Structure 1
Amino acid sequence: MKQLEYFKRFSVIIVTGGSSGIGCSIIKAIQNVAPDITLCNLSRSKPAFFLGPTGQHFPVDLSDATALADTASELIKKIHSVPNGEVLLVNNSGFGDYGRMPDLELKKQLSMIDLNVRAVVDLTARLLPTLLERGGVVVNIASTAAFQPTPYLATYGASKAFVRNWSLALNEDLRGSKVRTLTVCPGPTQSNFFKAAGFATPPMKKGSAPGLDMSSEEVAARTLNAIAKGQALLVTGWMNHCISFFGSKMPLVAVTRIGGAILRKMRLEQHRAQ
């Protein structure tokens, strides 16, 4: 009931990458508690589900700065066309690329930075004046990879470390205003992420590590709960929370070595599975 009442304050919800994975699950979870809200999905592919009578899909490649700017202008017009109410922005779009940095395609690495980092800052900055006027929340999806260097996922981990630190700092910048942020750090999640990152098979099977691997629906449910509670940081799952905590307290070189050994083992298992 608390969630149901809380989400009535929003008139527009914007989700990037809402056609699949965590973004899709967040949209569906919101539809359950606020079915009349105006939903905007920013993604290259059209969602296979109904966004509602007032919902709209914006087909856009957010790694393209010009396309993002044009879409942001359309979004601002969309927001102003809806009666007064707060705005929820969920920066969810992102991808990874698994392998040794010298073996990976540079163009894909740079595109990852454009989507995972630049697009988050760019879209948020363009919409922020409207959010400050209307009130709202900015949710940024980072990762438990943000808490330590990640060999074999070097650029991805670094991009998520940026998102985590930038999002938490932005929350402090906005203190005293009508806008706040929530930084979400999921661990391994059952979605298309691993396939897109180059894994032949998911590195974990469902139930192999209770509290560590989660479905996108579970991550979405915890995210909505954290928004309603006014949290600034959410690490999903108690095991993820413990790993992130101890990883952030240990010497960085040691943590990097340990992480590299774990991810190297995954790499060997991927080769056997192929």
Structure 2
Amino acid sequence: MQIIEVNKDNVRILFDYWNEIGKNIPYFYNTTYQSFVSSLFDDTFEGMTIFQNNKVFISKEDDQVKGFIQYGIPTFHFTVAGKIAKDINIGVIRNLYYEGTRADIGKALLGLSLDFFERNNIKEIYAFYHAMGMSCNGNHGKLHEKFNYIGKLLYEEGFEIEHENIYYICDMAEKKLEYPNNSYIKVSELDDNRQKLILYDRDNNALGSAEIKYIDNLTESAEKDIIYLVWIGIDKKVKGKGMGTEFLNHIIQYCLAKGYRYLHADTALNNKTAQKFYIRNGFIDNGITRSYLTRRSI
């Protein structure tokens, strides 16, 4: 087994491996090589550089990649209240992948990161941080349940599950858009790949808001295929009156008119209300995703 540090000069070999491990993972979108490299080394989140210190290593055998890890020290963090904090001392294992039969590779790669964090006196370590995923993955950073053996390795090293979500996909072309014509939406630009949508009634009262993300802008793909529903919310005064579904139908109609086919979304595993909403509206469960956290004594 060879452990090799990866940079922009030798990253090409990792791209094929990335595409291989991403098969059947709903948020491993079809991305260009340029978008992959940019996401790996120069990634940003809402205009902020994600990592101030960024390490990437591969495990290689017989000239083939058998696993890889990305870890580092981020430039910001989210508080419990969801606010951005920059005076922080945390570490992030952004990616860790290897073959299920090769726990030795997983342990070797994970050991690199834990040694790094120990040398830098970092005690709080996040793995598969929910908001620090690759931009070419829509910033979806959690680990899919297909890789439960990686979660098991993290558990053996003292990590615990931090958050669990369910990932959903809706084939918008298959959805019937039947609803009373008593509301409308307005759309505003947030940045080059996101938009905010606000639901109004016929008296121009705001009833809800949502945000969507254009995946093709993040992956640089020529295919206009997927839009990600970042969130959707309805004013409590109209909850239970079908306005959530009406709002969603407006969003779907808007996305279809722009040439997109699939609407992706996710929600917390313990949010039963949201899960029922998505299933009722034609979304299909595409698996559980998880993030992890450990606080170590150094």
- TM-score after normalising by structure 1: 0.31
Larger radius of gyration: 2
Higher-helix-fraction structure: 1
- TM-score after normalising by structure 2: 0.29
